[in-house]
Amino acid sequence: MATKIVYRCKNTGGPDGDCEHAASNETLEASAVTFNESGQAICPGETVFGEPCGAILEEVIPPKKLPLGIIAGSVAGLIVVACVVWFFFLGGDAQLRIEQTSITLAPGQSVKVEIFNDGNASLKLDDVTFSDNEFSVDKTEDSLEIAPGKSGFLRIKFAQKAQNNIQGKMTIDSNSSNGPVSIELEGNANPWTVAEKLNSTSTILDKE
């Protein structure tokens, strides 16, 4: 497809006054102008004083206009790329939540702890640590990574041969936006400790 050329008159400030076409900065189609023997386009307009302009016109190549379909496709492509970049680099945060704040276990007992992901990105559990070695955890494959809005489980254990009551803490490290989350743990090696405490503080159980 041949490139369409239009013309513009630049005749301003001359002795006969400004050309009407130069004053309005309009472009002229090739069919509206005449050409001299050298092939130069001559302005057909008049000056403000009514004199023929006759100035040599400047060639102007208009910028190409892209079809609307191409423009729409390009914009849609940019939006898709932006969404992909946002998803991989700024794709929201995971947020770990545990409803239990403390857990009490007897020797050999295990308790299942449910872990919720309240964020909008996958929650990945990096490490689970304890303040005392008498506590341990079994991690299953489905609990290592939790999808947004879902939950997973960890099973906490207290040592079978524990001899002493232990106050401890479990800390879960992950990619959660609210940082490491901790739970208070109590290992009750002497089940009668609770009854003894009740007996010592109860007025109903007082002996005469």
| Contact (CB, 8 A) for 147 and 97 | no
| Contact (CB, 8 A) for 100 and 183 | yes
Q: Residue 35: how many CB atoms within 10 A of its CB?
A: 11
* Mean pLDDT value of segment 159-183: 88
Tens digit of each residue's pLDDT (9 = 90 or more) over 188-200: 877 655 445 555 5
Alpha carbon 130 to its chain centroid, in Å, reads 34
How many degrees, rounded to 5, is the angle at CA 135 between CA 129 and CA 139? 60
**Where along the chain do its domains lie?**
6-60, 96-190
What is this structure's pTM? 0.49
Task: Tell me what pLDDT residue 58 has.
Answer: 84
Alpha carbon 144 to its chain centroid, in Å, reads 23
CATH of the domain spanning 96-190: 2.60.40.10
* Mean pLDDT value of segment 95-109: 89
Tens digit of each residue's pLDDT (9 = 90 or more) over 59-93: 877 666 656 666 666 777 788 776 655 555 555 78
Tens digit of each residue's pLDDT (9 = 90 or more) over 43-59: 888 888 888 887 888 88
Rounded Cα distance, 85 and 62, in Å: 36
Rounded Cα distance, 176 and 123, in Å: 6
| Contact (CB, 8 A) for 147 and 118 | no
Task: Tell me what pLDDT residue 169 has.
Answer: 92
**Side-by-side strand order, sheet with 135-139:** 96-97, 110-117, 151-158, 135-139
User: Cβ neighbours of residue 126 under 8 Å, at least 6 residues apart?
Assistant: 173, 174, 175
| Contact (CB, 8 A) for 99 and 138 | no
